[in-house]
Amino acid sequence: MSHQVAFIGLGNMGGPMAANLAGKGFAVTAFDLSEQALIRAAEAGCATSGDPHAAVVGADFVVTMLPSGPIVEAVMVAQGLLDSIPARALIIDCSTVSPDDSRRVAKAAGERGLRFIDAPVSGGTAAAAAGTLSFMCGGDGADVDRARPVLGAMGANVFHAGDHGAGSVAKICNNMLLAVHMIGTAEALQMGVNNGLDPRVLSDIMLKSSGCNWSLEKYNPYPGVMANVPASKGYEGGFMVNLMLKDLGLALETAKTSESAVPMGALAQSLYAMLKHSDRELGGKDFSSVLRLFQ
């Protein structure tokens, strides 16, 4: 008999993740506030529910993919979802939240006899659709091992970073670095173009040189250089500027509590805020649109 998975949150990331679970043979019951998201989930082979409490009935695993820490806490604690989750279920929160958010929800789950891990993801919407995400897990090692078949159906890499909250710390560090090297890549490409270079040629040169990085190799921010990335689609889709600003805010909050020096992270936050304030619509565009600051 296949494992029962309740999937809560079917946004740009959660929708394809739930679809991959259903495609890999898990019995998925999906919940979202969006009727369109539920329709897409049903088309992908998921059962759907308009009530999160009904969705978790009989679940072996409860996967959450929600927009923020306060929303995760509201759904789990204030709205009482933890009280509806079966005692045997393992809760896997894939949302990007602060480490303290993860620890509070883990504590609330533990007080009810429930097992919980934080397992935020890296890879973006393309990897969510392809099932090649990386999961950064915080929690008990035995719980992470129990989650591996579920996470493995949605991703290519599962890391155990440490205790509750450690997955969230790893995700925040990763996304701060992502913001920094995307900005540097955009800045360098635009300077090359301003001095007469073809952005494709310059990209090829840097890919084989010491400036090579993920943004350049997988997610080029210059329009027309790389097919099937947001930069070549008017910066539509992908990882929104608003979400990058949220993650950089989490990074600076985490840095403050640990007295860590993050001048590059602070500068990245400032530049993304500048980008959004230059045109409010850019908040909904992909974060590689930071190139526009340099044009």
Catalytically annotated residue among 24, 171, 218, 256:
171
The strand pair at 115-118 and 121-122 is best described as unpaired
**Residue 29 burial by CB count (10 A; 0-12/13-18/19+): exposed, middle or buried?**
buried
Is 171 catalytic? The answer is yes
> Count of CB atoms within 10 A of residue 283's CB?
17
SS (H, E, C) 220-282: CCCCCCCCCCHHHHCCCCCCEHHHHHHHHHHHHHHHHHHCCCCHHHHHHHHHHHHHHHHCHHH
Through-space distance between the first and last CA atoms of the chain, rounded to whole angstroms:
56
The DSSP H or E segment spanning 63 is strand 61-64
Beta carbons within 10 angstroms of residue 206's beta carbon? 18
CA distance 263 to 139: 30
What is the Cα 144 distance to its own chain's centre?
Answer: 18
Nearest-angstrom CA–CA distance, 187 and 146: 43
The DSSP call for residue 284 is G
What's the CA gap between 144 and 146, in Å, rounded?
5
Contact between 23 and 2 under an 8 Å Cβ cutoff? The reply is no
Return the active site residues.
171
